[in-house]
Amino acid sequence: MQFTRSDFPEGFVFGTATSAYQIEGHGFGGAGATHWDSFAATPGNVARGENGALACDHYHRLEEDLDLLAGLGADAYRFSTSWARVLPEGRGQVNEAGLDFYDRLVDGLLTRGIKPAVTLYHWELPSPLADLGGWRNRDIAGWFADFAEVLMRRIGDRVWSVAPINEPWCVGWLSHFDGYHAPGLRDIRATARAMHHVLLAHGRAIQVMRGLGMSNLGAVCNFEWSTPANGGEAATRAATTYDAIYNRFFLGGLFKRAYPTEVLVGLGAHLPDGWQEDFETIAAPLDWLGLNYYTRKVIDHAPGPWPNYQEVEGPLEKTQMGWEVYPDGLRDFLIRTATEYTGDLPLYVTENGMANADTHNTPDTARITYLEQHLGAVQEAIAAGVPLHGYFTWSLMDNYEWALGYEKRFGLVHVDFETLERTPKASYQALAKWWRA
């Protein structure tokens, strides 16, 4: 890789990211059942029926994994906490072993000089709360705020940053409209409620953490650039709708106290009563915004009911996910977000990376190229004046890629899912070379 730390602003934070259900091994340590366990146990939902019961067994290999992070020279580590590990029923009785685990994780990072960047929720909803309607139920905002309080009373004095929820689009749209993620619903009313309640829960958790005196609190949204399939009016309108649902809905709620009209056309009739009054909570000031970025989609018109769009295959090189490699989208999102929504607020790239069919002994040169291209886009955004403060790769190690199971490899470290042996890949070495300097 061509970079050195001096190619980026002073104090720029480099790190890597993971999430609890994808690596920890949910079958251990008294963690309660989640909607991902039942979703994965339902035939047809997840490739090969795989689940997160063992995953990378990070729960038992914590020290080894933290040493890998230190060897990489990461300044920060973005990890998530499992609600059901801390509160097995989602509310009430605390699992002390769960709190102890996150305590050890935070201390293990600090001992190695690595900043703990916490995400409270990365998708594994406790089953008892799913039984009560999960993200469709407005009460989830209070349940989530209570979880935030229990956890932060234990580790909040030592964490560097906190974001309540990873990728609200996935929690809302992908899981309730597309049905690709747990709970696997395909229902427009459920979607409207989940999309709104996830923001309300975010806001309530921020309030609770401010009340505890915490700072450096943010939000993490995912973004996909949408390119019209052709120059026609219908494709352009379809791409605009895609952009509104995927990208502008959550930014609008968080920073403009409004949802885009293109989304209200479809979801407006299904939003809960009094939703506008919730912006007071949703749009409470933040200290930073994180952007997760991987790809763009080429979008065409689709007949039938709203939202009238469909993805079509694009011409660019693709990753193991079938996602096009499009670094310009990262630069353009950073510029657009700062210009239209966040101004001087510090931004971070909180996830970026690619899946590749890696083996433990073939150099992942495609990933090195992908990271180089996207770090180039980061530099262009900084040169254009974007107040970007850090960049996190997804992911530290190969892990459970949700509905696609263990086949899609995003890691800088190869994991053999038979032996659980970790082997740093060429991309890990390439980053370590200048991150450690």
Q: Which residues bind ligand IFM (CB under 6 A)?
A: 19, 22, 167, 292, 351, 394, 401, 410
Nearer residue to ligand IFM within complex by CB, 19 or 356: 19
Nearer residue to ligand IFM within complex by CB, 167 or 262: 167
Name the packing angle between helices 96-111 and 62-72 (round to 10°).
30
C-alpha–C-alpha distance, residues 72 and 300, integer Å:
42
Least CB distance from residue 410 to ligand IFM, whole Å?
6
Residues 6+ apart with CB under 8 A from 215: 287
Least CB distance from residue 351 to ligand IFM, whole Å?
5
Angle formed at CA 242 by CA 239 and CA 244, multiple of 5 degrees: 110
C-alpha–C-alpha distance, residues 203 and 163, integer Å:
10
Least CB distance from residue 99 to ligand IFM, whole Å?
23
Q: Are 77 and 19 in contact (CB under 8 A)?
A: no
Residues 6+ apart with CB under 8 A from 272: 138, 192, 193, 196, 197
Nearer residue to ligand IFM within complex by CB, 52 or 134: 52
Q: Is 167 a catalytic residue?
A: yes
Nearer residue to ligand IFM within complex by CB, 3 or 410: 410
C-alpha–C-alpha distance, residues 32 and 98, integer Å:
10
Q: In this structure, how many other beta carbons lie within 10 angstroms of the beta carbon of residue 100? A: 12
Place of tokens 């933040």: 286
Nearer residue to ligand IFM within complex by CB, 65 or 351: 351
Nearer residue to ligand IFM within complex by CB, 95 or 295: 295
Least CB distance from residue 90 to ligand IFM, whole Å?
20
Least CB distance from residue 147 to ligand IFM, whole Å?
19
* Joined tokens for residue 420: 């659980």
| Residue 345 phi, psi dihedral angles, 5° rounding | -60, 135
Using DSSP's 3-state secondary structure scheme, residue 293 falls into strand
Using DSSP's 3-state secondary structure scheme, residue 193 falls into helix
Catalytic residue among 167, 224, 262, 401: 167
Residue environment code for 336-361, b if the CB has 16+ CB neighbours within 10 A, otherwise e: bbbeebbeebbbbbbbbbbbbebeee
Catalytic residue among 24, 124, 224, 351: 351
Using DSSP's 3-state secondary structure scheme, residue 247 falls into helix
Least CB distance from residue 370 to ligand IFM, whole Å?
13
Catalytic residues: 167, 351
